[in-house]
Amino acid sequence: MTTADTIPFNRPHVSRNELEYLAEAVRRGSTSGDGPFTARATRLLTEITKSRGALLTTSCTHALEMSALLLDLRPGDEVIMPSFTFVSTANAYVLRGAVPVFVDCRPDTLNIDERLVEGAITDRTRAVVVVHYAGVACDMETIGKLCERYGLALIEDNAHGLGGSYHSRPLGSFGGLVAQSFHSTKNVQCGEGGALLMNDPRLAARAEIIREKGTDRSRFFRGQVDKYRWVDVGSSYLPSDILAAMLTAQFESFDRIQSLRHAVWARYHEELAGWAEANEVRLPIVPDGCEHPAHLYYLLLPDLPNRQAFIAHLAEHGVQATFHYQALHSAPAGARHGRAAPGGCPVTEEVADRLVRLPLFADLDEDDVTRVIDAVRSFTVS
């Protein structure tokens, strides 16, 4: 049940310049891809992530699909990834005929459990995809070393991680390829959008071709070839400059967006601590060395009945809260196209039933944060 004054789970933030930049893009008439705003947004994104190269894409899903094409994955190749993630992480590789091998998550961060990755490697493994859940970094040191030792590609699905860091190094700077999302639920958004970051310079030239329908059109526009031709496989993964205009305004407001989100996150964390302890509810854990970007705030209730009752209780109090990922290894398509790593994914199955996300967005004002906190505290776990 939601009413007119229900606090929504998410409301996309609009900063100052979106409408002005959108009008500018439309007036200028450079509405297709790779226009002036695309260049501006790309530069700002590269500064935030310290990645070596970036291409805006139509979504994070498409950036992941590009990574599968760039790795030349063949049917039967295996890609190690967490079971606790969004469907796109797996779909992108399944579309190439690759087999996702789902690894369980750590009970503390809910990230892929680095201690289980080596046991999932076979002679068909080609890549490891990490997802920094809630923008809290995976153990990149351990996973990075494993990838090096076994010659595996390292990919970051960094949809949650923009602005986060691991031992002072930005998330999005670790993987040879990195997928970002600018979907309306993410910290920086243009409705639907994404980016492929490239930290492996050997992949950059081909990435540009794959994103431009398999043609060398980008080189043609830079005057590097005298005509453009079909040179490789590809698709249309480049977004309109109109969307890039919106993104440019968002990136210019990134610091403000982040400080507003952090203020909400910090109040939840502080003011729910006592209630959580009394009710055996687990709050987010952020290990030393991880700076998170306040992407989401979750609670782990003791079990499924309490989780469901809690969501209903919040709805009655005008607060829209939601659960999150369901395990991929046991989802119908996950079981058909992939498999769980040895030992299965018991932690994933458990947390998927217990997790609730609270409203968290830049424009959630102090009174509404108070309303959410009061609604949470008026629930007693049974």
Ligand X SMILES: *Cc1c(COP(=O)(O)O)cnc(C)c1O
Contacts to ligand X by CB under 6 A = 59-61, 85-86, 88-89, 131, 157, 159-160, 181, 183, 194
Closest contact distance (angstroms) between CB of 179 and ligand X is: 7
Closest contact distance (angstroms) between CB of 349 and ligand X is: 18
Choice between 89 and 199, CB closer to ligand X: 89
Closest contact distance (angstroms) between CB of 52 and ligand X is: 22
Pair 59, 183: CB distance under 8 Å: yes
Identify which of 67, 173, 178 has the alpha carbon closest to the alpha carbon of residue 126.
67
Strand partners, 169: 166
CA distance 172 to 157: 8
Give, for 203, the enclosing helix (H) or strand (E): none
CA distance 238 to 55: 8
Closest contact distance (angstroms) between CB of 63 and ligand X is: 8
Closest contact distance (angstroms) between CB of 158 and ligand X is: 8
Choice between 186 and 354, CB closer to ligand X: 186
Choice between 79 and 131, CB closer to ligand X: 131
Choice between 165 and 306, CB closer to ligand X: 165
CA distance 260 to 272: 19
Closest contact distance (angstroms) between CB of 181 and ligand X is: 3
Strand partners, 81: 102
Pair 313, 374: CB distance under 8 Å: no
Query: Tokens 């829209």 correspond to what residue?
Result: 320
Choice between 86 and 166, CB closer to ligand X: 86
Choice between 181 and 218, CB closer to ligand X: 181
Cα 80 vs. chain centroid, distance in angstroms? Answer: 17
Tokens of 344: 């299965």
Q: First and final CA of the chain: distance in angstroms?
A: 22
Closest contact distance (angstroms) between CB of 159 and ligand X is: 3
Choice between 59 and 279, CB closer to ligand X: 59
Phi, psi (degrees; rounded to nearest 5) at 329: -65, -30
